C-alpha cells in the first residue's frame, strides 16, 4: 500500500502537471494557428473562437454555400434514429451498428470534403485534408504560420452575412434539441433500470412462487418459507438476501426478472413458455432467464420441455434453477427431440444428450 501511495504522489505532482501542460499547450497552439488561418483568409481572428458560427464561416471560406452546415442536423437526426432503433426494435443492435457506421462515414466524408477545399484554397495538396482531420495540431500550425497564401475571395457581402446568421441560429437550435433528446434517452434508460414495480398492477406468473405483493411495494422472495417465517417484516430484508431466486414478473408497463427490469420487453404481450418458466416471449422477442435470445423469434421458437428449446438455428438448454443458458453443441435442429431414456434426456439422429451435453453414444441409422 505504501508503494501505491508513493506512485499516486509521483503521478499527482510530477506526471499530471506535465500532462496538463502538454494538453493546454496543444489547445493554445490550435487556437492561435486557427486564428491565423482566418486572418490569412481576410476574416477577423476572433471569428475562429465563436462556436458554430466559426464553422459556418469556414464553409464560406472554402467556397461552399453556408447552407451546407445544415447537413450536421441530418447527421444528428441519423444518430437519434440509431438510438431509437436500438431501443425499440428486436433487431436494434445490428440496425444501430449500420446506422452508426453510416453516421461516421457521413461525418468523415463531410469533414474531408470541407478540408479538401480548404487545402486547395491555400494552394496545398489535397492530401493535407487528411492531416487536418487526423493531425490537426500539426497541420493547422503549418497552414497558419507557413508561407501558404489564401487564393479565395476575402470580401464578404452583407447578403451572405445574413445567411450566416440564419444558419447559425438554426444550427444552435438544432443542436440544443439534439442534446435534449439525447438526455431524454439517457434519463429513460436510467429510470427504466431503477424503477420499482407498481404493486397495484403487478402480476407474478403462475408456477413461480418468488414474488409477493404487499400494500406498498413488490418484493422478490426466494422461497415461501421466508414469507411464512418473517411475514410482514419480510419487506425489510436486504435485497441481496431476498433476491436469490430467478423468476419473471410484470406490472402494466414493465417486465421484471430477478428484481431487474427487462429493457424493451412488452408487458402487454409478455407470456411464459413451459412449466419451468425459464423461457418467455412477447410480441417480437424471445427471452431466456431475462436475456434476449438473438437467434430466435416468437414464430420460430419452441419450448421442448425438460429445459430444452429450439431457436432459428440453435438448440438451447437450461436447468432453470441455475439460470445458466447453454447452446447444445452439434445438435441437429431438425431431428432433435426430448425423450426419457436411461442416462439421457434428449437425442437427435446423431447423438444422445444429458442436460444439454452430448454423451458418448452415437446412434446407428
The torsion of the CA quartet 311, 317, 320, 321, rounded to 10 degrees, works out to -150
Q: Would you say residue 117 has pLDDT above 60?
A: yes
pLDDT of 206: 43
Q: Which residue has the higher pLDDT, 242 or 90?
A: 90
Query: What does the mean pLDDT of the chain come to?
Result: 76
Confidence of residue 143 (pLDDT cuts 50, 70, 90): very high
Grid cell 452439434 — which residue?
330
pLDDT of 223: 42
SS3 state at 336: coil
Q: Would you say residue 244 has pLDDT above 50?
A: no
Across 266-289, average pLDDT:
82
Query: Tens digit of pLDDT for each residue in 210-223?
Result: 554 444 444 544 44
Lowest-confidence region among 52-56, 101-105, 230-234: 230-234
SS3 state at 343: coil
Q: Which residue has the higher pLDDT, 157 or 176?
A: 176
- Strands laid side by side in the 351-354 sheet: 337-338, 346-347, 351-354, 357-362
Q: Would you say residue 359 has pLDDT above 70?
A: yes
DSSP symbol at 130: H
Greatest mean pLDDT among 252-256, 271-275, 329-333 lies in: 329-333
CA torsion sign, 100 to 102 to 104 to 110? negative
Asked if 211 and 202 count as a contact pair (C-beta separation under 8 A), the reply is: yes
User: What's CA 142's distance to the chain center, in Å?
Assistant: 38
Across 195-221, average pLDDT:
49
Q: What are the sequence ranges of the domains in the chain?
A: 2-194, 196-292
Q: Would you say residue 10 has pLDDT above 70?
A: no
Compute the distance between CA of residue 68 and CA of residue 320 in angstroms, rounded to an integer. Answer: 57
Amino acid at each position: 500500500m505504501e508503494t501505491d501511495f508513493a506512485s499516486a504522489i509521483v503521478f499527482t505532482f510530477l506526471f499530471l502537471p506535465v500532462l496538463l501542460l502538454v494538453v493546454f499547450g496543444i489547445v493554445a497552439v490550435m487556437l492561435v494557428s486557427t486564428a491565423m488561418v482566418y486572418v490569412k483568409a481576410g476574416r477577423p481572428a476572433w471569428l475562429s473562437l465563436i462556436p458554430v458560427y466559426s464553422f459556418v464561416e469556414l464553409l464560406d471560406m472554402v467556397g461552399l454555400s453556408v447552407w451546407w452546415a445544415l447537413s450536421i442536423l441530418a447527421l444528428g437526426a441519423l444518430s437519434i434514429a440509431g438510438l431509437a432503433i436500438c431501443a425499440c426494435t428486436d433487431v436494434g443492435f445490428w440496425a444501430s451498428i449500420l446506422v452508426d457506421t453510416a453516421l461516421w462515414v457521413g461525418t468523415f466524408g463531410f469533414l474531408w470534403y470541407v478540408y479538401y477545399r480548404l487545402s486547395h484554397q491555400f494552394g496545398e495538396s489535397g492530401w493535407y485534408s487528411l492531416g487536418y482531420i487526423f493531425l490537426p495540431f500539426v497541420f493547422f500550425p503549418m497552414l497558419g504560420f507557413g508561407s501558404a497564401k489564401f487564393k479565395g475571395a476575402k470580401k464578404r457581402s452583407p447578403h451572405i452575412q445574413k445567411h450566416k446568421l440564419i444558419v447559425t441560429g438554426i444550427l444552435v437550435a438544432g443542436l440544443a434539441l439534439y442534446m435534449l433528446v439525447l438526455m431524454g434517452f439517457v434519463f429513460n434508460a436510467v429510470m427504466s433500470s431503477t424503477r420499482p414495480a407498481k404493486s397495484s398492477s403487478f402480476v407474478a406468473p403462475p408456477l413461480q412462487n418468488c414474488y409477493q405483493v404487499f400494500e406498498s411495494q413488490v418484493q422478490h422472495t426466494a422461497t415461501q418459507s421466508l414469507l411464512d417465517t418473517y411475514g410482514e417484516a419480510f419487506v425489510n430484508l436486504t435485497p441481496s438476501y431476498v433476491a436469490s431466486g430467478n423468476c419473471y414478473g410484470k406490472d402494466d408497463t414493465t417486465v421484471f426478472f430477478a428484481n431487474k427490469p427487462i429493457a424493451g420487453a412488452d408487458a402487454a404481450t409478455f407470456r411464459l413458455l413451459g412449466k419451468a418458466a425459464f423461457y418467455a416471449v412477447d410480441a417480437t422477442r424471445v427471452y431466456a432467464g431475462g436475456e434476449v435470445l438473438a437467434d430466435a423469434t416468437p414464430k420460430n421458437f419452441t419450448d421442448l420441455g425438460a429445459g430444452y428449446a429450439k431457436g432459428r438455428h440453435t438448440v438451447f438448454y437450461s436447468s432453470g434453477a441455475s439460470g445458466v443458458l447453454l447452446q447444445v453443441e452439434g445438435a441437429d435442429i431438425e431431428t432433435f427431440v426430448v425423450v426419457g431414456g436411461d442416462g439421457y434426456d434428449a437425442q437427435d439422429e446423431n447423438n444422445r444428450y444429458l442436460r444439454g451435453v452430448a454423451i458418448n453414444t452415437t446412434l446407428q441409422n
